[in-house]
Amino acid sequence: MKKYLLFIFLFPLFTQLSSGQDKKAKLEEIMKTYHGFNMFDGAVLVAENGKVIYKGAFGMANHEWKIPNTTDTKFMLGSVSKPITAMLMLIQVQKGLIDLDKTISDYIPEYSKKNGSRITIRQLLGHSSGMPNYDIIKDFFPKISRQNFSREDYVKLFMDSALVFEPGTSYYYSSWGYFMLGYIMERVTGRSYSQLMKEDIFDKLGMNSSGSYYHTQVVDKRASGYDYSLGGYTSGDFRDQSNTMGTGDLYSTVEDLFKLHLAISNNTLINKKLTDEMFTPGIRPWRYGFGWFNQNFKYTTTDSVFANYHLGTTEGFLSFLIRIPSTNSLVVFLCNSAPTHFSE
């Protein structure tokens, strides 16, 4: 698929070039080419064996003021927030506050019993709950997505919706499921999702350029989001962030996401048992674990590598995060001109 095109070009460099300088030069050449064809504006980081071998930034963080992107520019992550939400949930599991096999109703008693008593935390994490996605609501974009909701009122929008299948029997990607994970953590801990994320992950890892975004905030060095087409750039659409908690509300930098990668590799925040569960391939064909797709990633007609990855899109932004456990490698693309050609 085209959304993986940049990675397909980049990955062979890990095996075909022996010199770090050779790899860095080739990576720079590839990224400049993509940027030159208006196929990438943003920041990129590539690491191998736990060390950064390349990072770079391209295009404008803000076109109105002609402010360029840098490697410490902050980008909205979209659904790349989900792996971090999953990790936050596993931290609560490790603390003994939440049980993977308890249900929504165990933590949110007022949730619709016909669904809440059947869906477990484990199933929410792996998109096997049968919970639908927001696209079942007519005009969710742009009408409902622009409205401000309390947590309780937003949950009422979907809690009585018919399940797509019996929980645990199949796979269906649901951002509502990840919203529920965030809401459950808030109810159990008595802390907001953003506070919990800051204290349990970002502060501990020194991810000082990451956070949970709300549209009234002023965030230093945060890129503006744009849509790009052959006609040029337009400003990204508006979405009220009250309905993206746990699913797509985080912002970060390529360097902070590298810190997250190292923490995962070293079991810094969650133990090996939970890390292994997080990366255990789930129901075919997508093999989604807890917050990550886990499957062989084909980069030529004959070659593939087992990888953990996630793609994210949100208004004017696109992100792609891929880990290769066998070589402790990482590739991060954070883009503020979506949809780009490699996202199609």
Tell me what pLDDT residue 20 has: 64
Whether residues 94 and 147 share a domain: the answer is yes
DSSP code at position 253: -
Asked whether the beta carbons of 265 and 87 are under 8 A apart, the reply is no
Residue range 7-31: mean pLDDT, rounded: 71
What is the H or E stretch that residue 21 is in? helix 20-36
Top pLDDT among 215 and 324 is at: 324
* pLDDT tens figures, 221-280: 999 999 887 778 888 887 887 889 999 999 999 999 999 999 999 999 999 999 999 999
Q: What percent of the chain has pLDDT over 90?
A: 72
**Cβ count within 10 A of residue 109:** 10
Residue 75: predicted pLDDT: 98
Could you tell me which of 331, 327, 324, 278 has the C-alpha nearest to residue 297? Answer: 324
Residue 340 has pLDDT above 50, yes or no: no
Q: Record the tokens describing residue 95, joined without a space.
A: 């603390």
Which residue type is seen at 190? G
What pLDDT was estimated at residue 339?
57
- Measured at the CA of 87, the angle between CA 84 and CA 88, to 5 degrees, comes to 90
Structural domains in the chain (count)? 2
* pLDDT score recorded for residue 146: 85
In a domain, 198, yes or no: no
Residues 122 and 179 in one domain: yes
Q: Are residues 97 and 43 in the same domain?
A: no
Q: Yes or no: say if 178 and 247 are a contact pair by the CB < 8 Å rule.
A: yes
Please indicate, yes or no, if residue 195 is contained in any of the structural domains. no
The stretch 61-70 carries a mean pLDDT of 96
pLDDT for the residue 311? 94
Residues 162 and 240 in one domain: no
State which residues form the domain around 33: 2-80+208-343
In a domain, 268, yes or no: yes
Q: Grade residue 1 by pLDDT with cuts at 50, 70 and 90.
A: very low
Q: Which of 131, 157, 189 is the last residue of a domain?
A: 189
Q: What is the pLDDT of residues 330-339, one digit of tens each?
A: 999 999 997 5
Residue 341, pLDDT above cutoff 60:
no
Given a cut of 60, whether residue 3 has pLDDT beyond it is no
Is 194 a domain residue?
no
Pair (233, 174) in one structural domain: no
* Residues 211-224, mean pLDDT to the nearest whole number: 91
> Helix axis angle, 254-265 relative to 81-94, nearest 10°?
40
Reference 200, options 330, 94, 99; nearest CA is: 94
- Computed over every residue of the chain, the mean pLDDT equals 91
Amino acid 138: pLDDT:
86
The mean per-residue pLDDT over the stretch 179-197 comes to 98
Q: Which residues make Cβ contacts (< 8 Å) with residue 39, sequence separation at least 6?
A: 340, 341, 342
96 Cβ partners below 8 Å, 6+ apart?
A: none
- Positive or negative, the Cα torsion across 282, 291, 161, 78? negative
| CATH classification of the domain holding 52 | 3.40.710.10
Please say which residue of 189, 221, 252 terminates a domain.
189
pLDDT digits (tens, 9 = 90+) for 195-208: 999 999 999 999 99
pLDDT beyond 60 at 2: no
DSSP string, 181-193: HHHHHHHHHSS-H
pLDDT at residue 6, rounded to an integer: 61
Instruction: Mark whether 262 and 333 lie in a shared domain.
Output: yes
Q: Is 176 among the domain residues?
A: yes
pLDDT digits (tens, 9 = 90+) for 26-63: 899 999 988 888 889 999 999 999 999 999 999 999 99
Distance CA 43, CA 313 (A): 15
Instruction: Answer whether residue 343 shows pLDDT above 80.
Output: no
Once rounded to an integer, what is the mean pLDDT over residues 14-26? Answer: 69
With a pLDDT cut of 70, the percent of the chain lying above it is: 92
pTM across the whole model: 0.93
DSSP secondary structure of 46-100: EEETTEEEEEEEESEEETTTTEEP-TT-BEE-GGGHHHHHHHHHHHHHHTTS--T
How do residues 80-133 score in pLDDT, each as one tens digit? 999 999 999 999 999 999 999 999 999 999 999 999 999 999 999 999 999 999
Q: Which residue has the higher pLDDT, 304 or 159?
A: 159
Tokens of 338: 């979506």
Residues 92, 68, single domain; the answer is no
Q: What is the pLDDT of residue 7?
A: 59
Distance between CA atoms of 139 and 147, rounded to whole angstroms?
Answer: 12
Strand runs labelled E in 188-316: 211-212, 226-229, 232-235, 250-252, 293-298, 304-314
- Domain end marker among 129, 157, 189: 189
Range with lowest mean pLDDT among 41-55, 61-75, 295-309: 295-309
Query: pLDDT value at position 8?
Result: 59
Let me know if 94 is exposed, middle or buried by CB neighbors in 10 A (0-12, 13-18, 19+): middle
Torsion-angle region of residue 212: left (phi > 0), alpha (psi -120 to 50) or beta? beta
Q: How confident is the model at residue 19 (pLDDT cuts 50, 70, 90)?
A: low
